[in-house]
């Protein structure tokens, strides 16, 4: 018997597949009603208002093309490139083994299995985190773990139950665009809602003017006028509200997921010099990890034997060792807040063409920076001051990428 969650997930998938066809049909009906019946047949052929009709046609098709292109870009992106976090191992084989083990113990083999974080110090994917200057971690200094994907979860990633995968900077499941709106599609989604609201305003203005003209002439109600006003008002109100909400998320660099966790706090692993003395203000952790005592608690005077400074790791591990301070934010503090202008450019792009046309993905989709998966705002520097971490202190020999732990700092 299929699990209820699987049935709900299948129903959701079919819903998001069907609704885009409804949207396309609505565009078709709206275009026929506004352009064919109101502008051409009534205002042009009957009323001979050539200048007005020409102006409205230009505005209508301008925003119609922008709306359709933004919608198509959003739809294709949610289907082909939703921002999934790559899997680093065969999850299917692990699931089969877990279900086999559960069935052997007399438990529900179809139930979700919670998989604890990988305790292997050479856990696949772990180096991708501590090679950054800053990354989001748990209170013990390890990255966040996704039990469903069975791997470490990148900054700002959220596990989608609909896709059964982690998605980078996931915002919400939107049936109107056929999938998950996330970092790869949020700028296109904003453009779609903005242009749809503008298009609906043009439709309402055209229908309202036609209705006024018909009332002055003593004609009966035109059904197409009513259809245009109702459809445009419903879609216009909805998309205008979504535009305002999306704009707020862009300017504050948050997502719907963040809004649901307003009081959340973050633990940030911030790289500090390897020869930094222990502090009573924050714990620290040294990577690469060893199978025992992988972190320092505040106030401890000795470095834990974890393969970093003075540990028993290999020579290569000692050369590549990195120390990270584990800093805690306060509730509602956003480490990725770059200011209104910086937040806007990180999502919408760096020039007017990118702001207006659905051409390129957001700059925040580039995760090649060694600072972090996403650009951090001034909060990181503020946290360093708050916890008494000097900004300009260098590592042993002044090197930041490789370290010789046999030489004392100067």
Domain that holds residue 189: 1-85+165-253+340-362
Beta bridge partners of 160: 165
90 within a domain of the structure (yes/no): no
Position 392 in a domain: no
* pLDDT score recorded for residue 72: 94
Predicted structure pTM score: 0.85
CA triple 167-171-172, angle to 5 deg:
100
Q: What are phi and psi of 287, to 5 degrees?
A: -110, 150
Q: In this predicted structure, what is the pLDDT of residue 289?
A: 87
Task: For residue 230, tell me if it sits in a domain.
Answer: yes
* Geometric angle at alpha carbon 189, from 362 and 166, rounded to 5°: 65
10-residue averages of pLDDT along the chain (410 residues): 54 73 88 94 91 96 96 94 90 57 48 76 91 96 94 95 93 90 97 97 95 86 89 95 97 93 91 90 91 53 42 58 95 96 97 96 95 96 92 47 36
Q: What angle do CA 289, 397, 304 make, to 5 degrees?
A: 25
pLDDT in tens, 210-241: 999 988 888 877 888 999 999 999 999 999 99
Distance from chain centroid for Cα 196 = 22
Is 169 inside a domain boundary?
Answer: yes
Residue 290: the pLDDT is: 75
Task: Give residue 22's pLDDT.
Answer: 86
Residue 178 lies in a domain: yes
- Per-residue pLDDT, 365: 96
The predicted structure's pLDDT at residue 318: 63
Alpha carbons 317 and 403: distance in angstroms, whole number: 10
Question: Would 355 be classed as within a structural domain?
Answer: yes
- Look at the chain and report how many structural domains it folds into: 1
Q: What is the pLDDT of residue 317?
A: 56
Asked whether residue 8 is assigned to any structural domain, the reply reads yes
Q: Is residue 394 part of a domain?
A: no
């Amino acid at each position: 018997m299929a699990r209820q969650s699987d049935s709900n997930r299948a129903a959701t998938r079919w819903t998001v597949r069907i609704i885009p066809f409804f949207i396309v049909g609505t565009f078709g009906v709206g275009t026929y009603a506004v352009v064919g019946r109101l502008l051409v047949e009534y205002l042009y052929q009957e009323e001979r208002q050539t200048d007005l009709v020409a102006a409205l046609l230009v505005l209508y098709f301008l925003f119609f093309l922008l709306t359709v292109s933004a919608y198509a870009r959003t739809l294709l992106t949610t289907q082909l490139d939703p921002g999934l976090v790559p899997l680093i191992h065969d999850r299917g084989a692990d699931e089969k083994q877990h279900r086999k083990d559960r069935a052997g113990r007399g438990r529900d083999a179809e139930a979700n299995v919670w998989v604890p974080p990988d305790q292997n110090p050479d856990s696949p994917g772990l180096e991708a985190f501590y090679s950054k200057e800053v990354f989001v971690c748990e209170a013990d200094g390890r990255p966040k773990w996704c039990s469903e994907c069975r791997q470490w979860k990148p900054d700002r990633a959220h596990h989608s139950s609909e896709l059964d995968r982690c998605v980078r900077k996931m915002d919400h499941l939107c049936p109107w665009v056929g999938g998950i709106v996330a970092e790869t599609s949020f700028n296109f989604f904003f453009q779609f809602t903005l242009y749809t609201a503008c298009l609906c305003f043009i439709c309402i203005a055209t229908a309202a003017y036609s209705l006024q003209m018909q009332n002055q002439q003593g004609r009966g109600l035109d059904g197409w006028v009513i259809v245009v006003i109702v459809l445009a008002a419903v879609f216009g109100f909805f998309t205008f509200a979504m535009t305002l909400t999306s704009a707020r998320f862009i300017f504050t660099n948050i997502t719907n997921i963040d809004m649901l966790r307003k009081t959340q706090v973050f633990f940030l692993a911030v790289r500090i010099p390897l020869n930094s003395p222990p502090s009573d203000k924050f714990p620290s952790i040294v990577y690469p990890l060893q199978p025992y005592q992988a972190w320092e608690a505040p106030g401890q005077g000795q470095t834990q034997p974890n393969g970093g400074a003075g540990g028993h790791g290999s020579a290569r591990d000692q050369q590549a060792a990195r120390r990270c301070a584990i800093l805690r934010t306060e509730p509602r503090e956003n480490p990725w807040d770059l200011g209104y202008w910086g937040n806007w450019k990180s999502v919408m792009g760096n020039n007017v063409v990118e702001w207006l046309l659905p051409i390129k993905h957001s700059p925040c989709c580039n995760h090649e920076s060694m600072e972090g998966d996403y650009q951090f705002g001034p909060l990181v520097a503020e946290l360093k001051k708050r916890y008494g971490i000097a900004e300009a202190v260098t590592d042993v020999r002044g090197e930041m990428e490789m370290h010789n732990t046999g030489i004392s700092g100067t």
